[in-house]
Amino acid sequence: MKYFSTRNKQKFFTFREAVLNGLAEDGGLFFPEFIPTFQKSFLKEIKNLSFREISFKTASLFIDNEIPQNKLKEIIESAIYFDAPIVNLSNELNVLELFHGPTLAFKDFGAQFMARIMEYFVHQTTRELIILVATSGDTGSAVANGFYGVEGIKVFILYPSGKVSTIQEKQLTTLDKNVTALEIEGTFDDCQRLVKQAFMDEDLKVKLNLSSANSINIARLIPQTFYYINSVKYFLDKKIIISVPSGNLGNITAGLIAKKMGMPIYKFIAATNSNSVFTEYLNTGIFSPRRSVLTYSNAMDVGNPSNLERIQHLYNFNVEQMRNEISSFSFSDEKTLEAINEIYHKFNYIIDPHGAVGYLALNKYFETSKINGIGIVAETAHYSKFIDVVEKAINQKIEIHEKLKEVLAKEKKSVKLDNNFDSLKNFLLTKN
């Protein structure tokens, strides 16, 4: 399996090159030369396969022989040590819980897998790897946890000052050793722009061995297909509709790849908040990026989603083809609060703001399409990471998760920078 840049299909790279470079030289995202498909027998045996077995079979198709099979099995065993269970709330509604990892967010799947993949590749060289990652909330803590203490790798996390929850900030600013949190004066889009500029800067490319841990890195995307493929085995005889809270579009891109691999998923729904550029793109065919606005579902506060380039390649830039397999709806903070309250009182289940937007979008799809099927909402983070919003919605106190209690007691450590690229560049050059 080779990989190309979404901006140049003529030049190919190995999986190792794609992972360690993170972003292509031309600013494009790495993408597989073709989407591998499972043999027909796979769907017959999938019910009897464990999550780890499904993960290994999936990863093998994208990595080929660049990592020996026995080593890849070790990586899977080490990275996929937590589950992605499905909770049934009603005949039509199920929740795919993706928050059972170390930082209670779906990003743990990608971060744990990628850290071990990169560790394997870095040990084959003598040059230190510098990881840059922009985060609107959960990515930073997941990456920090995944790479914490890994020899030969330094991690710098860029996050927007004052625009992540208190708990999220504590999770990404309370580690030391090889992890540094950079508090950027601006939005997530500023953080993402700075990371992309760093990869394009000739001076930094010569002096530093840079890579990314955002969903722009293909090693973050591949493990996110695992849980979509695993979820299918419970509903093989049903029409499956999956609603995915969507910001930078990495999570839904992974789901769409799983569908293209042969998974019988009828429809994906991109659920957005007030940052609805993707919803508008699907509706109009015109992509109009803009500055993001702050919402209760802050991990989705993205005004220029990177992974749109991958989705466009999946569908040959044909928006009509996209509409056949993807629907998208956006919702306000007010509706988000109402949804959290409704789910709590109707199903005795507490959902986080991102999952609430996914729930709203799923309901909207069923209402407008008149399709009968099994709905799955991707619940991307544990509700107690957004305790203020959830308590406001249900009007009562809730118990915070033990893992979060531990991190709240720790001291915040961050370096404040403005959103000027020269500030980031000078910092990186003086620290490495």
Running DSSP on this structure, what letter comes out for residue 165? -
Site of tokens 């995307």: 221
Rounded Cα–Cα distance for residues 55 and 249 (Å): 21
User: Which phi and psi (to 5°) does residue 161 adopt?
Assistant: -60, 130
Predicted confidence at residue 30, as pLDDT, reads 95
Q: Which residue in this structure is represented by tokens 């509604």?
A: 93
**What ranges do the domains of the chain cover?**
83-104+219-398
Rounded-to-integer distance, Cα 309 and Cα 231, Å:
26
Q: How far is CA 88 from the centre of its chain?
A: 23
User: Which pLDDT value is given to residue 151?
Assistant: 86
Residues in CB range of 176: below 8 A, 6 or more apart: 413
Which of 122, 180, 126 has its CA nearest to residue 150?
122
Residue 212, CB-side half-sphere exposure with 13 Å CA sphere: 33
The set of residues, in sequence order, having a beta carbon less than 8 Å from that of 73 and lying 6+ positions away, is: 56
Catalytic positions, written as ranges: 107
| pLDDT attached to residue 21 | 87
Per the CB < 8 A criterion, the answer to whether 58 and 227 are in contact is no
> How far apart are alpha carbons 147 and 159 in whole angstroms?
17
Percent helix / strand / coil, the chain, rounded to 5: 50, 15, 35
Query: β-pairing, 3-5 with 30-32?
Result: antiparallel
Distances from the Cα of 219 to the Cα of 3, 213, 347, angstroms: 12, 8, 36
One-letter identity of residue 103:
T
Is beta strand 3-5 parallel, antiparallel or unpaired with respect to 8-13? antiparallel
Q: Which CATH class is domain 83-104+219-398?
A: alpha beta
pLDDT of residue 390: 97
Q: Which long-range contacts (CB under 8 A, 24 or more apart) does 286-289 make?
A: none
**Is 365:81 a contact under the CB 8 Å cutoff?**
no
* pLDDT at res. 126: 73
Cα gap 361→365, rounded to integer Å: 6
Per-residue pLDDT of the chain (432 residues; tens, 9 = 90+): 999 999 999 999 999 999 988 888 888 999 999 999 998 899 999 999 999 999 999 999 999 889 999 999 999 999 999 999 999 999 999 999 999 999 999 999 999 999 999 999 988 777 889 999 888 767 788 888 899 988 889 999 999 999 888 888 888 899 889 999 999 999 988 998 999 899 889 999 889 988 887 778 899 999 999 999 999 999 998 999 999 999 999 999 999 999 999 999 999 999 999 999 999 999 999 999 998 898 999 889 999 999 999 999 999 999 999 999 999 999 999 999 999 999 999 999 999 999 999 999 999 999 999 898 999 999 999 999 899 999 999 999 999 999 898 888 899 999 999 999 999 999 999 987
CA atoms of 397 and 391, how far apart (whole Å): 6
